[in-house]
Amino acid sequence: MKIHNYSAGPCILPKSVMEKAAESVVNYQNTGLSIVEMSHRSKEFVAVMEKAVALVRELLHVPLDYEVLFLQGGASMQFYMSALNLLPLNGSAAYINTGTWSSKAIKEAKLLGRIDEVASSKDKNFSYIPKDYAVSQEVSYLHYTTNNTIFGTQFKELPKTNARLVCDMSSDIMSKAIDVTKYDLIYAGAQKNIGPAGATLVIVKKDVLGHTGRVIPSMLDYQIHIEKESMFNTPPCFSIYTAMLTMEWLKELGGVTEIEQRNKAKAELLYQEIDTNPLFRGTAAIDDRSVMNPTFVLEDASLNDSFLHASIDAGISGIKGHRSVGGFRASMYNALELESVQVLVDVMKEFERTRG
């Protein structure tokens, strides 16, 4: 039976990418060596790293005054590292709190300076994106999380502010077109639309670095990683290689504008069912609904287990909601096909027919 993988991350990746990656784990391009057995300084792996960086630049139209890095530690390390590199000693920054990940980012940044939580949707269990707030002219930057995997909300436009923007895009980068020039720093754990867990993408405007007055440990210093082209130490080779393959797949398919249309079509299909099927209710404010991670509940929570089993019987994997929201979460990353969404919608329709 075909498995429809709705996992929130690590998550579905293209089947063709998995097949190529598997082949390279045994014998990379007929070298007789595995991609994971090669020196990261070999001409083969250096070419992989260069191509991965070039694909990020091409797919997201990254301007030349920005650097593209592949690091380790995930967004969780970036919560601290971004502030360490951008927040001056005695400086301040503004943060929008839209859920678990923003809260963690705020916690780590507070170790380094004055953090002003300018807006929060905590009052309604993070079910919406705050829109009215003022950002002081004094702050070094405004930080926000573009898409909130747990609560199923997503920024649909840029925050209205003159402040420089720092952004955690872990769960929606590469899912749609973005304007990189609007940001000083973008970071993202790879394990949604970029590739396997273990790599972290950073896109940083070069001229914002080096102004904090802090002494920064080498591994936490963007400038050192820039100078060493993401090879200050051994990089997570397999994750970067497979990210490169995934970006090649995305490019062949038509890039971020094409995938944006496909992702919208998937989200429309599912949200329409959530809105019209009387058994279900979406949990996020309609204007702020995530294209990546629709969250929904059964009006009658006592039916949760039977709906979950009905979906499992149809080959659907990973739709149990996060404990903070309950119900269900259907993460629909780039590699999930419209056909898989149709399977879920059909299960919902059938559930209404038999249980409604």
- Mind telling me the catalytic residues? 101, 168, 192
Does 256 interact with its own copies (rule: CB under 8 A)? Answer: no
Q: Show contacts with its own copies in window 1-20 (CB under 8 A).
A: 1-3, 5, 7-13, 18-19
Q: Rule CB under 8 A: which of 111-170 touch its own copies?
A: 111
Q: Residue 81 phi/psi, 5° resolution?
A: -65, -40
What are the CA-CA distances from residue 312 to residues 12, 204, 306, 353 (Å)? Answer: 16, 42, 10, 18
Asked if 150 contacts 325 with a C-beta cutoff of 8 angstroms, the reply is yes
Of 135 and 167, which has the nearer Cβ to its own copies? 167
Contact status: 303 vs its own copies (CB under 8 A): no
- Classify the C-alpha dihedral 156-324-186-237 as positive or negative: negative
Q: Which is nearer to its own copies, 21 or 55 (CB)?
A: 21
- Closest to its own copies by CB, 199 vs 270, is 199
- Contact characters 306-325, its own copies, x per CB under 8 A: -----------xx-------
Decide: helix, strand or coil at residue 60: helix
| Total chain residues near its own copies (CB under 8 A) | 62
Interaction residues for its own copies, span 81-110 (CB under 8 A): 104, 107-108
Instruction: Please tell me whether residue 73 binds its own copies under the rule CB under 8 A.
Output: yes
Residues with Cβ < 8 Å from 3, sequence gap 6 or more? 315, 317
Q: Angle 189-202-242 (CA atoms, 0-180°, nearest 5)?
A: 55
Identify the residue among 152, 236, 282, 321 touching its own copies (CB under 8 A): 236
Does residue 145 come out as left (phi exceeding 0), alpha (psi in the -120 to 50 range) or beta? beta
Q: What are phi and psi of 129, to 5 degrees?
A: -100, 120
**Residues in Cβ contact with 42 at an 8 Å cutoff, skipping those fewer than 6 apart:** none
Does 25 engage in binding with its own copies (CB under 8 A)? yes
Q: What residue ranges bind its own copies (CB under 8 A)?
A: 1-3, 5, 7-13, 18-19, 21-23, 25-26, 31-34, 36-40, 42, 72-77, 79-80, 104, 107-108, 111, 189, 191, 196-199, 215, 217-220, 232-239, 242, 317-318
